[in-house]
């Protein structure tokens, strides 16, 4: 129960106002295409203009969602009140009910049918499915944008602070040579059986060098917060992340000056989120 309460009171991390109109338009278009192309609920039997009727559903969907967004987010934004997960759930429930009610009234008017609970539940069900699909897509897009934005801010700050720091990675082979380089030039380290592959920038080019060592040993050589273990086989330098895409099941990281994609496994996702705060 305490976890649920904590989740509901936690701040909703994805921006809500910047793209609300895009979500509204996408939802309206989705409803229009669903009704016009499939023509369910007896729409194909309508004697008038099916295009205009479906367009009316589209306009109503956009108007209802914009109105709900205005009512729910105008006050918090004015008073600088953080939007919580619980508040977003309440908003989702309210907008779904408003959509279902408006669609039911609109359909009853056009088809000259009595208002019934059955008609309401039909529109509640289908608008819910479209709403969930559109919201899920836009939430994922917005979350990735937010993640990349925070990473950019963090990377610039950390990179400036670590300018001039030289790190040394020790080769445990008796005839091996230790590798020294600026920390900002390090891209990632990958475990490969008894060796590790170090990928870094040298003279403007991406270079890979193998050392006789373990990922754990090299991690101990790098007591810096930005050297992050993102996978059981990878250490990555957060300073050089160009983009991050994914969700709670894992991420894919792209690094500046490197074509390789670095995985962030599900186990290490909380660490990444904690790091970017």
- Cβ contacts of residue 219 below 8 Å, gap of 6+? 227, 229, 235
The pLDDT tens digits for 162-189 are 777 888 888 888 777 889 998 889 999 9
Q: What CA–CA distance (Å, rounded) separates 131 from 125?
A: 10
Specify the DSSP class assigned to residue 219.
Answer: H
Secondary structure percentages of the chain, helix, strand, coil, to 5 = 55, 20, 25
The pLDDT tens digits for 69-83 are 777 776 555 555 667
Q: What dihedral do alpha carbons 215, 211, 257, 14 form, nearest 10°?
A: 0
The pLDDT tens digits for 129-172 are 776 776 666 666 666 666 666 666 666 666 666 777 888 888 88
Q: What dihedral do alpha carbons 74, 78, 82, 86 form, nearest 10°?
A: -30
């Amino acid at each position: 129960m305490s976890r649920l309460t904590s989740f509901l009171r936690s701040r909703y991390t994805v921006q809500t106002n910047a793209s609300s109109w895009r979500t509204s338009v996408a939802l309206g278009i989705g409803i229009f295409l669903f009704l016009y192309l499939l023509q369910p609920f007896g729409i194909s039997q309508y004697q008038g203009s099916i295009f205009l009727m479906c367009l009316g559903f589209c306009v109503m969907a956009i108007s209802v969602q914009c109105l709900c967004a205005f009512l729910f987010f105008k006050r918090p934004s004015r008073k600088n009140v953080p939007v919580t997960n619980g508040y977003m759930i309440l908003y989702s429930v309210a907008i779904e009910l408003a959509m279902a009610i408006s669609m039911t009234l609109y359909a009853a008017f056009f088809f000259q049918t009595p208002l019934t609970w059955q008609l309401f539940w039909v529109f509640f069900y289908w608008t819910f499915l479209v709403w969930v699909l559109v919201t899920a897509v836009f939430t994922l897009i917005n979350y990735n944008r937010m993640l990349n934005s925070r990473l950019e801010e963090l990377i610039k700050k950390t990179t400036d602070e670590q300018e001039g720091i030289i790190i040394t990675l020790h080769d445990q082979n008796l005839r091996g040579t230790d590798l020294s380089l600026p920390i900002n030039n390090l891209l990632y380290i990958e475990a490969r059986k008894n060796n590790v592959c170090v990928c870094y920038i040298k003279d403007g080019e991406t270079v890979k060098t193998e050392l006789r060592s373990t990922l754990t040993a090299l991690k101990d050589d790098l007591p810096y917060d930005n050297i992050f273990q993102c996978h059981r086989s990878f250490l990555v330098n957060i300073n050089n992340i160009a983009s991050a895409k994914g969700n709670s099941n894992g991420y894919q990281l792209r690094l500046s000056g490197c074509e390789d994609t670095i995985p962030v496994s599900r186990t290490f996702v909380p660490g990444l989120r904690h790091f970017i705060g």
